[in-house]
Structure 1
Amino acid sequence: MQNEIINILKKEERFSEKTIEEIREVEINDFADIIKEVGHQETEYLSRNKIMDSLNTEVIGKEVYLFKDVMSTNTVAKFLSENGAEHGTVIISEKQSDAKGRLGKHWESPLGGIWLSLIVNPKVDHSKIPMITLATGVAVVKALERIGIDNAEIKWPNDVLINDKKVCGILTEAITKFNTIENVIIGVGIDANFDVDVLSKELQEGTTTLDIELGHKVDENNVIAILLEEFEKIGRVFNEGGFEAILKEWRKYSYSIGKIVEVREPFSKSYDGYVLGISREGALVVEKIDGTLEKVISGECIIKN
């Protein structure tokens, strides 16, 4: 986290190299107000004012911090959550230089995408954290429907696909203290208006963008506002305990159900199976080749052709 904050301070060019080195020796939280100030400055590609002016929410996005370039919006969100940022705060960056996806995978975030994190404070226990990821996936799909994409699907647990190609990834991280959830950081990355050729070779074939699917560029400020509105709607359902309603929506948009998959779980041998559905806890229910059922709580499910 310290490296992220120092990285932002360096780009402001308001501190000398000597001062930056001295900052490494002090309490980094002392610079929270400066980071918030930077997040309120004008940027080149996105507009904080446009996002907030078109936003129709009660809580989500009432505070927005927008940066030109950070290593990871999730890291900045964690820092700000420790320094007074309230439930519903949104951190956005025009690009990210060192973002991580699920299971520590590198997430490529060039200019032209939607890279944001939300700070939320759900009053739930640890067992409901997977449901937050599923609910966010539903919010993303509903936002895409509002801009004209009616065939987006959710691949368990955290990807959104269009025409079998990934357009969005979600990373949910809980911040705990004394075994109590203080905040949850929800990172969302949507490929919007860039040429997939800027991505590494291994990602190009399986990636699509909103621009490609719609045949025209989207207004990212508008898409962000719509996404935050949909997140608030489903967040309200979540907070009221409407987990069955969320699961029903998720099943409607599921890409995974009915597929043959290879399951890779931590510290376990991989196996193939058929995805039957999803449990009330948000675990994927898979029938193995021998007929036994497994609930997949974490890990990967690779779709097999």
Structure 2
Amino acid sequence: MNTKQKVLALLRQNGAILSGEKLAQEIGISRTAIWKAVRELEKMGYQIERHANGYQYLPSDVLEADSIATNELQAANIFLLDETDSTMKDAKLGALAQQTTPALYVAETQTGGHGRFGRPFFCPRGQIYMSLLLNPNQSFEELPQYTLLAAVAVSLAIDEVTGRKTDIKWVNDIYLDGKKICGILSEATSDFETGRISHVVLGMGINFSIPPETFPDGLEKKASSLFPEGNAPVSRNQLMHLIWQNFFELLAGLPDNSYLKVYREKSFVLNKTVTFTQQGVTYSGIAKTISDTGELAVLTADGMKILSSGEISLQSIH
């Protein structure tokens, strides 16, 4: 550990006020070096209260690989960025560079973030923007339903930290109290020579804490955040850790597909009237079921229509 990390660890470990002299003795450096380390930690976003008799660590929401890591996702493979065009692009570049997987790319903000069909989205600082790079080496037929797995993992994690119940809009959006708070996107790259899936990138954006008045005009009616008033009881690191812990546990449990039961129970689309366009024709019907491979079956006046998440976006639900 460098000096900053040592100072941070001591302040966190104790929780009480520690004098510069005490910190200097513990680490074996000068008090001036302690002062400089504290200044650098403050610049990084850590909250350290200064008292007449020393320093005291206050809960701080700074991205940390060690805090996000799980047994399956090592801290060395978690890449933290202040600003990026898109964490999805970062993950794809990681694949080209043969990055060890699983690897996670996390950013404070994105300048070119997008959702399904290339739609741009609002990316204020201090939320959760991350993409996971996987190397499944499987055929399309063998490939797990990563988007559904991720939706369940995120939904359960948010339920746990908020004490409230989230809903899932087929196929990739998480809602809380009727407003969108998370979008999920998965993309796969195939190897034409082997016919196998070489890489999968699973990206998500989560509105962690955004005051309603800061949303662009009209968006506040459709979107919200987990803690719009601030004072979150958990950090972003803790939520990300829980999400990926859930995800890898679900993944390890395959072929057990009990996650599909959770996905269906959380769906607010099933048994509702939905409107969609397929091959240039607009249909309305009752969403009947979600298949084991993630397709939505809708009963219309023209019979049952099977909707694929990669081709169709629902236009209305009521």
Question: Would you call these one fold, judging by a TM-score over 0.5?
Answer: yes
2:167 is matched with 153
User: Partner letter of residue 262 of structure 2?
Assistant: E
Give 1:98 shift.
0.8
Output the CA distance in 1 between the equivalents of 2:276 and 2:111: 30
TM-score, length-scaled by structure 1: 0.77
Rate the CA distance shift 1:157–1:191 in 2: closer, same or farther, 3 A: same
Are 2:289 and 1:277 equivalent residues in the alignment?
yes
Partner deviation per Cα, 1:271-292 (whole Å, 9 max, x = no partner): 11110111122100100034x1
SS in 2 for 1:270: strand
Identify the match of residue 209 of structure 1 among 225, 240, 244. 225
Q: Which runs of 5+ in 1 are unaligned?
A: 1-41
Deviations 1:190-244 (A, max 9, x none): 00012243332242210010113x873241121111111111111212xx323x3
Aligned positions, number: 257
1:247 shift after superposition:
1.5
2:177 counterpart residue number: 163
The aligned residue for residue 298 of structure 2 is 286
- Whether the 8 Å contact between 1:61 and 1:228 is mirrored in structure 2 is no
Q: 1:94 to 1:43 in 2, by over 3 A?
A: farther
Quick one: higher RCO (CA 8 Å, sep 6+), 1 or 2? 1
Task: Give the residue type in structure 2 aligned to 1:167.
Answer: I
Cα-Cα RMSD: 2.2
Aligned equivalents of 1:106, 1:128: Cα separation in 2:
31
Alpha-carbon deviations, 1:24-67, whole Å to 9, x = none?
A: xxxxxxxxxxxxxxxxxx95485443x42464423365510000
* Structure-2 separation of matches of 1:60 and 1:170: 22
Partners of 2:301 and 2:218 lie apart in 1 by 30
Structure 2's unaligned 5+ residue stretches are: 1-42, 47-60
Q: Distance in 1 between matches of 2:74 and 2:177?
A: 30
Q: Structure 1 pair 73/43, CA: closer, same or farther in 2 (3 Å)? A: farther
Tell me the equivalent position of 2:21: none
Alignment check: 8 A CA contact 2:148 2:172 kept: yes
1:241 to 247, 255, 264: 255
Shift of residue 260, structure 1, vs aligned partner: 0.7
Separation (CA, whole Å) in 2 of partners of 1:264 and 1:149 = 36
> Aligned partner of 1:188: which letter?
M
The letter of the residue matching 2:231 is: H
AA matched with 1:106: P
Residues 1:258 and 2:258 are matched in the alignment? no
Structure 2 residue 144 is matched with structure 1 residue 108: no
Q: What letter matches 2:102 in structure 1?
A: G
CA distance in 1, matches of 2:317, 2:294: 22
Shift of 1:164: 1.2
Contact 1:263–1:271 (CA under 8 A) maintained in structure 2: yes
Q: 1:153 to 1:62 in 2, by over 3 A?
A: farther
2:199 is paired with a residue whose SS is: strand
Output one character per residue of 1:1-23: Cα deviation in whole Å (capped at 9) or x when no partner.
Answer: xxxxxxxxxxxxxxxxxxxxxxx
Q: 77-86 or 57-66: which moved more?
A: 57-66
Q: Deviations over 1:116-148 (max 9, x none)?
A: 000112243324668211111000011112203
CA distance in 2, matches of 1:249, 1:57: 24
Distance (Å, rounded) in 2 between the aligned partners of 1:61 and 1:223: 15
Q: Aligned partners of 1:301 and 1:60: how far apart in 2?
A: 37
Show the counterpart of 2:306.
295
- State which of 234, 238, 262 in structure 2 corresponds to 1:222: 238
Which residue in the other structure is 1:67 paired with?
Answer: 81
> More displaced, 80-89 or 138-147?
80-89
Offset at 1:89? Answer: 0.6
Counterpart code for 1:268: G
